[in-house]
Amino acid sequence: MDTNDSLFERARQSIPGGVNSPVRAFGSVGGSPRFMKKAQGPYMWDEDGKRYIDYIGSWGPMILGHNNPEVIKAVHEAVDMGLTFGCATQREILIAEEIKKLIPSIEEVRLVSSGTEAGMSAIRLARGFTGRNKIIKFEGCYHGHSDSLLVKAGSGMLTFGNPSSAGVPTGVTEHTLVLEYNNPSQLEDAFKRYGDDIACVIVEAVAGNMNMVPGKPEFIQTMRKLCTQYGALLIVDEVMTGFRVALGGAQSLYNVTPDITMFGKVIGGGMPVAAFGGRRDVMEKIAPCGPVYQAGTLSGNPVAVACGLATLKLIQQPGFYDRLSAQTSRLIEGLKAAANQVGVTFSARSVGGMFGLYFLDKCPEGFADVMKSDTKRFNVFFHSMLDQGVYFAPSVFEAGFVSITHSDEVIDETVKAAKVAFEKVASI
Ligand X SMILES: Cc1ncc(COP(=O)(O)O)c(C=O)c1O
- Catalytic sites, residue numbers: 142, 237, 265
| Distance, CA of 369 to CA of 210 (rounded, Å) | 10
Q: Does 116 help bind ligand X (rule: CB under 6 A)?
A: yes
Closest C-alpha to 58, from 239, 197, 212, 186: 239
Is 209 among the residues that bind ligand X (CB under 6 A)? yes
Cβ closest to ligand X, residue 251 vs residue 384 = 251
Q: Count H helices and E strands in the chain, helices first.
A: 14, 18
SS3 category, 252: helix
Q: Does 121 bind ligand X (CB under 6 A)?
A: no
To ligand X, the closest distance from the beta carbon of 263 in angstroms equals 9
- Rule CB under 6 A: say whether 356 interacts with ligand X: no
**136 versus 339: smaller Cβ distance to ligand X:** 136
Contact 95, 312 (CB under 8 A): yes
Name the residue number minimizing CB distance to ligand X: 115
Measured from the CB atom, is 4 or 350 closer to ligand X?
350
- Contact between 239 and ligand X by CB under 6 A: the answer reads yes
Whether the CB-CB separation of 417 and 334 falls below 8 Å is answered with no
- One-letter amino acid for residue 146 of the chain: S
Q: Using the rule CB under 6 A, give the single segment among 233-241, 334-342, 360-368, 419-427 that binds ligand X.
A: 233-241
| Residue with smaller CB distance to ligand X, 110 or 330 | 110
Does 181 engage in binding with ligand X (CB under 6 A)? no
CA 17 to CA 261: how far, in whole Å?
33
Please select the residue that binds ligand X; options are 41, 161, 208, 258, rule is CB under 6 A. 208
Q: How many CB atoms lie within 10 A of CB 3?
A: 16
Question: What does each C-alpha distance from 290 to 133, 153, 188, 280 come to in angstroms?
Answer: 18, 33, 32, 12
Beta-ladder partners of 162: 152
Q: Is 240 in the site for ligand X (CB under 6 A)?
A: yes
Q: How many other CB atoms are there within 10 angstroms of residue 370's CB atom?
A: 23
CB of 417 to ligand X, least distance (A): 26
Sign of the Cα pseudo-torsion (320, 321, 325, 331, in order): positive
Q: Are strands 274-278 and 108-112 parallel, antiparallel or unpaired?
A: antiparallel
* 59 counts as binding ligand X under rule CB under 6 A: yes
Number of residues that bind ligand X (CB under 6 A): 16
User: Is residue 260 part of the contact set for ligand X (CB under 6 A)?
Assistant: no
Do 141 and 203 form a contact (C-beta atoms < 8 A)? yes
**Complex with ligand X: residue 28 or 40, whichever CB lies closer:** 28
- Please pick, from the candidates 3, 28, 114, 347, the single residue that binds ligand X as defined by CB under 6 A: 114
> For ligand X, which is the closer residue by CB, 115 or 215?
115
Query: Taking the chain, what is the end-to-end CA distance rounded to the nearest angstrom?
Result: 26
- Give dist(CA 390, CA 382) in Å, integer: 9
Could you say which of 46, 108, 174, 237 contacts ligand X (CB under 6 A)?
Answer: 237
142 lies in the site for ligand X, by CB under 6 A: yes
Tell which one of 18, 61, 65, 144 touches ligand X (CB under 6 A): 144
* Binding status of residue 143 toward ligand X by CB under 6 A: yes
Residues of this chain that interact with ligand X (CB under 6 A) are 59, 114-116, 119, 142-144, 204, 208-209, 237, 239-240, 264, 274
